[in-house]
Structure 1
């Protein structure tokens, strides 16, 4: 893939993906990394300073009205080559987990970040995604042609839910999984593959210090899945090691 856009790169998995990609044997020509403000993205700025293929763009995914202008900024970077991969990585999860403590604003705010934003950002970036797909139309469905990756979670799987709670996060990720399925159907004719990816339980601010997986291990495995995407992955939920998960 010549270009990849990753949201939520000031820390955690997003930053981990940028770190891994710049060290790759064949790094993308353009790595577009977003963050809400530069003050909280010092490490990302350091990466951009020494890697000319890293482009930092400011983006608050809750402000969907800014997406059209953001798409113009992306187009200025990728130009006629289009965007190969959109990685909707930015996400949030409130601390309250049980029904007695959940609040309306937690549900609404989490749904906006985890579900609405990925859908609307994909919509805004469709022209550059289609451009990359058309330019590489001789290739099969893959991340080398054009792909949308939605960072999901096994916690959004209805069949895997055996202990309840986590209403904002579970519901928003289940909705994102449905969006992934619909997008995979709607965009297949354009040669764009759409897949949901579960990174595992990772030691990030969201995953907590007790998580069993390091960021570097999750990122390396997820990138291997992304590189091997094919038609069979379209509209499905996969985890970091390539195992398909049930909805």
Structure 2
């Protein structure tokens, strides 16, 4: 791609990203939970694109708390999770819609633009057989609902919207016991995103393209 934009919130936890080099890579700082920052990010990105449009918006920011059962549910955990995991992706997508609508098909894509909302199987109501994890489960289920609505609202624009489960990955959130490394998850997700078409619009899929139940 001619342009890749990567964002981070906390420099102390993002050194690996900040160390990356590439003539097409632009690294920008933003706290997506501060909605006032969305327009500033849009201005920076649109200034770099100079009318080219944005082919993929990847809403990846997410938080998870450790409180598992109903007896440990806390209001601030629920609110913060919904702000970062659900509300921020909705409002960021709204802000970036003009750039997504400007995007045109490239030789490598079957669509003009795509919105990829990072979800999780923990947000699947049908797959929930263990309970608990109220802030994360509920906020990701709500994000899945937003994905479905976006896919319907934007179906005539050439923009595809999906929810994507990255797998259980060895990250700060996933923990060291997760079975999948970051490189494998990212490579599989990239392949899946590059192979999206209109039949995927409004679907919940995992890193390897397999469709998941809501």
Shorter-chain TM band:
over 0.9
Cα 1:220–1:96 change in 2 (3 A) is same
Residue 115 of structure 2 is matched in structure 1 by 148
Say which structure is richer in helix. 1
Q: Contact 1:202/1:208 (CA < 8 Å) preserved in 2?
A: yes
Gaps of 5+ in 1: 1-27
Matching of residue 245 in structure 1 with residue 212 in structure 2: yes
Matched, 1:196 2:163: yes
Write out the 4+ residue segments of structure 1 that deviate beyond 4 Å after TM superposition: 137-141
CA deviation after TM superposition for structure 1 residue 91, in Å = 0.4
Partner of 1:216: 183
Is the CA contact 1:85–1:147 (under 8 Å) kept in the aligned structure 2? Answer: yes
1:186 alignment partner in structure 2 = 153
- In the TM superposition, what is the alpha-carbon distance from 1:167 to its structure 2 partner? 0.3
Unaligned runs of 5+ in 2: none
In 2: Cα distance, 1:56 partner to 1:140 partner: 24
Are residue 168 (structure 1) and residue 138 (structure 2) matched? Answer: no
Q: Cα deviations across residues 120-177 of structure 1 (Å, max 9, x unaligned)?
A: 0000000111011xx33999853xx201000000110101111100100000000000
The alpha-carbon deviation at position 242 of structure 1 amounts to: 1.2
Find the aligned partners of 1:129 and 1:141 in 2 and give their Cα distance. Answer: 15
Q: Give 1:75's aligned residue.
A: 46
CA distance in 2 between counterparts of 1:91 and 1:203 reads: 15
Give 1:51 deviation, angstroms: 0.8
Counterpart position of 2:30: 59
How many pairs align? 214
Distance 1:246 1:45, change over 3 A: same
Q: Secondary structure at the match of 2:19?
A: helix
**If the length of structure 1 is used for normalisation, what is the TM-score?**
0.83
Of 77, 85, 89, the residue aligned with 1:118 is: 89
Contact 2:109 2:194 in 1 (8 A): no
Instruction: Tell me how far apart the structure 1 counterparts of residues 106 and 181 of structure 2 sit (CA, whole Å).
Output: 37
The alignment's C-alpha RMSD in Å is 1.6
Change (3 A) 1:125 1:217: same
